[in-house]
């Protein structure tokens, strides 16, 4: 009987949901892209919004990570809440629903097919972590 209880507990533990972080494992190419853009920069305290006018480039790293490049010295990393299926493929146009001066945590982005105009997944932005090159 005791063996049955132990094996039942082990079986139930195996069926329990695995805790996942928002970020899935990145491919070597995605890691290289992240490294190219963030290498030599230091992460700061996350902020809830950035100024849309200052970010001149949006870089798709994975289905979970977007980078907003302001300059060679400043890049914001955004880890989307729950990910955004298909974002990394870069086949679709990103359409943002921005309220105010720039994207903010909780804002929604949509992927829209470049050819047909059909809207795909809707995805939610997370916090924006600034990565700055140290002075000097």
Confidence of residue 23 (pLDDT cuts 50, 70, 90): very low
How far is CA 49 from each of CA 31, 40, 66, 121, rounded to the nearest angstrom? 25, 23, 14, 22
The residue range of the domain holding 94 is 25-132
Sheet holding 128-132, edge to edge: 42-43, 128-132, 74-79, 65-69, 57-60
pLDDT at 90 over 90: no
Q: How far is CA 78 from the centre of its chain?
A: 5
pTM of the predicted protein model: 0.79
Q: Which two tokens mark 101? A: 């001066």
For position 18, what pLDDT does the model report? 31
Q: Which two tokens mark 56? A: 């001149």
pLDDT by residue (tens digit) across 27-82? 999 999 999 999 999 999 999 999 877 788 999 999 999 999 999 999 999 999 99
Q: Which two tokens mark 49? A: 């919004």
- Asked whether residue 79 is domain-assigned, the answer is yes
Q: Which residue has the tokens 């849309």?
A: 52
- Asked whether residue 19 is domain-assigned, the answer is no
Confidence of residue 4 (pLDDT cuts 50, 70, 90): very low
* Count of structural domains, the chain: 1
Segment (H or E) for 67: strand 65-69
- Asked whether residue 76 is domain-assigned, the answer is yes
The stretch 106-126 carries a mean pLDDT of: 93
- Asked whether residue 125 is domain-assigned, the answer is yes
- Asked whether residue 15 is domain-assigned, the answer is no
Confidence of residue 111 (pLDDT cuts 50, 70, 90): very high
């Amino acid at each position: 009987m005791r063996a049955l209880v132990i094996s039942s507990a082990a079986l139930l533990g195996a069926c329990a949901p695995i805790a996942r972080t928002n970020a899935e494992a990145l491919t070597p190419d995605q890691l290289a892209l992240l490294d190219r853009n963030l290498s030599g920069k230091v992460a700061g305290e996350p902020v809830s919004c950035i100024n849309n006018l200052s970010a001149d480039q949006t870089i798709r790293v994975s289905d979970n990570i977007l980078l907003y490049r302001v300059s060679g010295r400043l890049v914001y990393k955004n880890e989307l809440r729950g990910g955004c299926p298909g974002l990394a493929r870069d086949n679709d146009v990103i359409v943002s629903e921005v309220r105010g001066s720039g994207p903010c945590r909780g804002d929604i982005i949509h992927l829209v097919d470049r050819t047909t105009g059909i809207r795909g997944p809707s995805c939610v932005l997370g916090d924006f972590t600034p990565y700055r090159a140290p002075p000097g």
